[in-house]
C-alpha cells in the first residue's frame, strides 16, 4: 500500500504545480523551459493483482524483466511462473510505450557505454566495449535475453532531471540501482533522500529512506561534470 500512496502523492503535488515533484521531463536546449507530462499509470503486480508495481523490484527472465510491488512476491512468482503468464503478458503490454533507457551491455551484463553502440532496426544498442559489440554481432540471437533485460525505466536523474548515464549509478543497501546524469548527484541523493525519492517515484522507482541513508554499497565511476554542458549544476 505504501507504493500506491507514494505514487498518488506525487501525482497530487504535480497537479498543483510543485516544481520538486516533476513527473516527467524532456530536456531542451537554449532558454526553453522543460515540458512536463504525467506518465502512464503503472501496471499491476502479477502476484498481488491490485497493487501497482515498483519498477525497482524485478526478476530477469529470457523474455525480459517481470516487475512486482515488493520483493516478497518474487519467490511466489518463481514457484509457478505459468500461473502468472497472462498477467505478465498484460504487464509487458502496459509497459511497451513507457520510456526506458539501456544501461547494461547485452553481451557481458556490464554497464553500457553510451559511446559504443550499433544500430539495429532503427534503434541503438549499447555495449560496454567494442569486443562485446563484435561478439553480439556474430550471434545476436544468443544475447536476445541479455538485451531484453538491459533496460531501466528510470530515464531521468532524480537530482538534475537530465538523461541518465549508464555508468553513473549507485547501488542501495537493498540492491536497487539508482542512475544519475553524472558523478556527484549520488552524494545529493544520500544527503537528502526524502527530497529526491518523489522524483524517483514519479518514474515508478520507489525507495525507502532506510535503504538510502546508510550510503551506497557500490558506486561506479561516472563521467565528470566537465564532460557535460550542465549550466545549472551545483554540486
The domain ranges of the chain are: 40-95, 104-149
What pLDDT shows up at residue 230? Answer: 53
Query: What pLDDT is recorded for position 38?
Result: 57
Which residues, in sequence order, are CB contacts of 86 under 8 Å at separation 6+?
Answer: none
For cell 553481451, what's the residue? 107
Q: How many C-beta atoms surround the C-beta of residue 174 within 10 A?
A: 14
Distance CA 168, CA 220 (A): 6
Count of CB atoms situated within 10 Å of the CB of 113: 18
Q: How far is CA 83 from the centre of its chain?
A: 27
Q: What is the residue-wise DSSP string for 139-179?
A: -GGGGHHHHHTSEES--B-TTT-SBP-TT-EEE-TTS-EEE
pLDDT 10s per residue in the chain (235 long)?
444 444 444 443 333 333 333 333 333 333 333 344 556 789 999 999 989 999 999 999 999 999 999 999 999 999 999 999 999 999 999 999 999 999 999 999 999 999 999 999 999 999 999 999 999 999 999 999 999 999 999 999 999 999 999 999 999 988 899 999 998 999 999 999 999 999 999 999 998 877 765 444 444 444 444 444 555 555 5
Look at residue 34 in the predicted model and tell me its pLDDT.
Answer: 39
Query: Which residue blocks in the chain are alpha helix, DSSP H?
Result: 2-15, 73-79, 85-95, 130-138, 144-148, 185-191, 193-201, 209-212
CA distance readout (Å), 101 to 33, 123, 168, 184, 223: 23, 12, 13, 20, 17
pTM above 0.85, yes or no: no
Position 183 scores a pLDDT of 86
pLDDT at 28: 36
Amino acid at each position: 500500500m505504501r507504493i500506491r500512496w507514494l505514487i498518488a502523492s506525487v501525482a497530487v503535488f504535480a497537479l498543483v504545480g510543485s516544481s520538486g515533484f516533476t513527473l516527467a521531463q524532456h530536456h531542451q536546449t537554449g532558454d526553453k523551459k522543460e515540458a512536463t507530462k504525467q506518465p502512464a499509470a503503472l501496471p499491476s503486480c502479477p502476484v498481488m493483482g491490485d497493487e501497482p508495481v515498483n519498477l525497482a523490484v524485478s526478476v530477469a527472465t529470457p523474455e525480459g524483466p517481470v516487475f512486482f510491488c515488493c520483493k516478497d512476491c518474487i519467490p511466489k512468482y518463481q514457484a509457478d511462473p505459468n500461473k502468472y503468464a497472462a498477467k505478465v503478458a498484460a504487464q509487458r503490454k502496459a509497459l511497451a510505450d513507457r520510456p526506458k533507457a539501456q544501461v547494461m551491455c547485452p553481451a557481458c551484463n556490464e554497464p553500457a557505454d553510451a559511446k559504443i553502440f550499433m544500430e539495429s532496426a532503427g534503434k541503438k544498442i549499447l555495449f560496454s566495449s567494442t569486443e562485446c559489440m563484435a561478439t553480439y554481432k556474430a550471434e545476436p540471437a544468443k544475447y536476445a535475453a541479455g538485451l531484453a533485460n538491459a533496460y531501466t525505466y528510470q530515464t531521468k536523474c532524480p537530482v538534475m532531471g537530465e538523461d541518465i548515464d549508464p555508468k553513473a549509478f549507485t547501488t542501495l543497501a537493498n540492491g536497487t540501482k539508482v542512475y544519475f546524469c553524472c558523478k556527484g548527484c549520488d552524494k545529493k541523493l544520500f544527503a537528502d533522500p526524502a527530497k529526491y525519492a518523489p522524483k524517483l517515484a514519479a518514474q515508478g522507482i520507489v525507495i525507502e529512506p532506510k535503504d538510502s541513508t546508510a550510503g551506497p554499497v557500490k558506486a561506479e565511476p561516472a563521467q565528470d561534470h566537465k564532460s557535460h554542458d550542465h549550466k545549472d549544476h551545483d554540486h
